[in-house]
Amino acid sequence: MELKIKEALLSNSEMLFGMQVEEKLIQFQKTRKDVSGDLTLVIFPFVKVLKCSPAEAGEKIGEFIKGNVGNIDSYSVVGGFLNFVIDADYWISALSEMDKIEKYGFGEPNTKPTIMVEYSSPNTNKPLHLGHLRNNFLGYSVAEILKANGHKVIKTQIINDRGIHICKSMLAWEKFSPLNEKGERETPGNTGVKGDKLVGKYYVEFDKHFQIEANAIIEQWNAEDFSETTEEVGAEFNRLDESKTGKDEKAIKGIDGKIKELAKNQTSILREAKEMLIRWEGRDPQTYLLWTTMNNWVYAGFESTYKAMGVDFDKLYYESDTFILGKDLVDEGLAKDVFFRKDDGSVWIDLTEDGLDEKLVLRSDGTAVYMTQDVGTAVDRFKDYPDLQGIIYTVGNEQDYHFSVLFLILNKLGYEWSENCSHLSYGMVELPKGMGRMKSREGTVVDADDLMESIVDSAREMTQERGHLDGISEKEREALFELIGMGGLKYYLLKVDPKKRIVFNPQESIELNGNTGPYIQYAHARIRSLLAKAENNDNTAMGLKNVELQPVEKEILKQLAGFPNALNDAAKNHSPALIANYMFELVKLYNNFFQSIPVLIEEKEELKDMRLVLSRNVAKVIGLGMSLLGINVPKRM
């Protein structure tokens, strides 16, 4: 309808306005609730062109549209707004149209450019936590939304499987794992502990010993015992220690932090870890075997976590394969004068003209940093997928700076596709006050597996006491509890604008009333139950003419008609929250309808049929929309 009006205005522009108006001037919006009408055209932009009052302009345009575009019942001008009342026939035929399409609102698959969505990208030294949940749900959902809009999508992650942090877990396991009666160290097999948890345990174990050793060194230094320290380090300590005098508490804390760093670098345990990293990079067979073994434990653990999350990937990238990539590009960049080399041999890029700093891209010893690798990986991905148009990186907002640098570098290296790369930056998930920030080494994380399990537990309790569970097998019940619990959790994390941070409240996430996943799931179950009871629920809206529409029914139809638009906006903004809000709006309208308007007991057949078709399409859109959030909907609950 908006299109029809827009076309009519544009093609008759000369006659109406005496000049060709820009398309931008034609702005539609939803009609306010307290004004009668279905669609509103904003008149203000035309006032200047027509040189008359908004009321006159509105009359003129309204009269024209009513006479030249079909299905307009009436129009009214209120202030600078032209409100159209669209007739029932229009809405009924819209219903009939959407009813024919199984995936209503979706674009033709694989008809739009290929986009890669990266998400999750975990380290293999610790289990996934609450923050990963938001990351995974977001990335997965955005990928689904893009697919639904017709894009070809490649879901991927880069697995951080190498580096000093991995060696820390490996070393701690070798040093501290107790031996059982068969003389074996702990494995997932002989302990029953999930692989990623076991490796994570040794990462924490490393840190414990690391801290103890570092603190002991500081104590020695404080006692002026530098017997085990080199002269330079001793001098550095004294310099830092003296600089504390006269400083305030905050500054002292900062200096203490530096001293701690200094001491940590002197520990034997860190030295051993570094030596291990060197052995790994030299492909020492024994180290490599240990690395492969422990990583495989972790992958098995991750796999079960991803399965519980309901996410998947089309292609995996491993940092151990990609960390060398990018070095050639550094040479290329040097040749193009994009980068420059400092005296010590390190390579940098100067981004001061872009409002940023100088950034290191290659260490003085010639090894790659994270940035080098990311540049290389991006280029590599475009080689892997020649039709790739852009990459969306789902990564927390603490890396905003990193990504603005990355995209700038790619741009300066001459890759035009860098403009199509974006950072889907999301706010941190924080714990309620007093619980502090999540730090895996300090054991203050909310573990992903634990959280999902406890959410499903709550869903089980709540559903058992109020659910309609008769005649459902035990197995189906469990699947249902999972569906409700996970639906609640996903909805809770996705309904908020990605860039806003979330304070995670376990209580609220499992709430069933209000703007929640289960509220929407319930509406779906209810409709399915209604449809099941209807004798003939495969009727069509075809041939429904002259049916009278109740105001709520029309509201629902308007909302349904807006689904393609919502889908489009969500894709454009990379925001599942827009889908969630759309769903909630739709369900509220439907519940209102359900409460006040009879369906099955309606005597007039054509009304009953129309309401069934309406209900069926609401259920369909709920199912489609929720699937974009990675949420399943039940037939009963």
Please, which of residues 563-592 interact with RNA by CB under 7 A? 569, 573, 577-578, 581, 584, 588, 591-592
Residues 505-524 that bind RNA (CB under 7 A): 508, 511-515, 518-519, 522
Write the binding mask 73 to 112 for RNA: x where contact by CB under 7 A, - elsewhere.
Answer: -----xxxx-x-----------------------------
* Distance of closest approach, residue 636 Cβ to RNA, in angstroms: 4
Place of tokens 């700093």: 357
d(CA 1, CA 7): 10
* Distance of closest approach, residue 438 Cβ to RNA, in angstroms: 11
Residues 122-141 that bind RNA (CB under 7 A): 123
How far is C-alpha 142 from the geometric centre of its chain's CA atoms? 6
128 or 388: CB nearest RNA? 128
How far is C-alpha 495 from the geometric centre of its chain's CA atoms? 10
Which pair of structure tokens corresponds to residue 451?
């959280």
**How many residues are given for the chain?**
637
Which pair of structure tokens corresponds to residue 1?
């309808």
Do 429 and 128 contact (CB within 8 A), yes or no?
no
Residues 454-473 that bind RNA (CB under 7 A): 462-463, 466-468
Residue 118: CA atoms inside 13 Å, Cβ hemisphere, count? Answer: 22
* Distance of closest approach, residue 227 Cβ to RNA, in angstroms: 27
* Distance of closest approach, residue 311 Cβ to RNA, in angstroms: 21
Contacting residue, 22, 35, 63, 110, with RNA by CB under 7 A: 35
* Distance of closest approach, residue 20 Cβ to RNA, in angstroms: 19
> What is the residue type of 577?
A
Contacting residue, 499, 543, 545, 604, with RNA by CB under 7 A: 499
By CB under 7 A, the count of residues binding RNA is 92
389 or 581: CB nearest RNA? 581
List Cα–Cα distances, 616 to 122, 367, 560, in angstroms.
Answer: 41, 60, 11
d(CA 172, CA 284): 18
**Buried b / exposed e along 370-401 (16+ C-beta atoms within 10 A):** bbbbbbbbbbbbbeebeebbbbbbbbbbeeee
Residues 253-312 that bind RNA (CB under 7 A): none
Write the binding mask 521 to 550 for RNA: x where contact by CB under 7 A, - elsewhere.
Answer: -x--xx-xxx--x-----------------
The C-alpha angle with vertex 70 and arms to 64 and 72, in degrees rounded to 5, equals 75
229 or 372: CB nearest RNA? 372
Residues 314-373 that bind RNA (CB under 7 A): 319, 342, 344, 346, 355, 357, 360, 363-365, 369-370
* Distance of closest approach, residue 616 Cβ to RNA, in angstroms: 14
Write the binding mask 172 to 201 for RNA: x where contact by CB under 7 A, - elsewhere.
Answer: ------------------------------
313 or 504: CB nearest RNA? 504
- Specify the DSSP class assigned to residue 514: S
Do 525 and 634 contact (CB within 8 A), yes or no?
yes
3-state SS, 537-578, equals CCCCCCCCCCCCCCHHHHHHHHHHHCHHHHHHHHHHHCCHHH
* Distance of closest approach, residue 191 Cβ to RNA, in angstroms: 28
Select from 193-201, 307-315, 490-498, 624-632 the region that touches RNA (CB under 7 A): 490-498
- Cβ-defined contacts of 595-598 (< 8 Å, 24+): 596/552, 597/550, 597/552, 597/553
* Distance of closest approach, residue 474 Cβ to RNA, in angstroms: 17
Residues 589-618 that bind RNA (CB under 7 A): 591-592, 594-601
188 or 488: CB nearest RNA? 488
Residues 144-173 that bind RNA (CB under 7 A): 160, 163-165
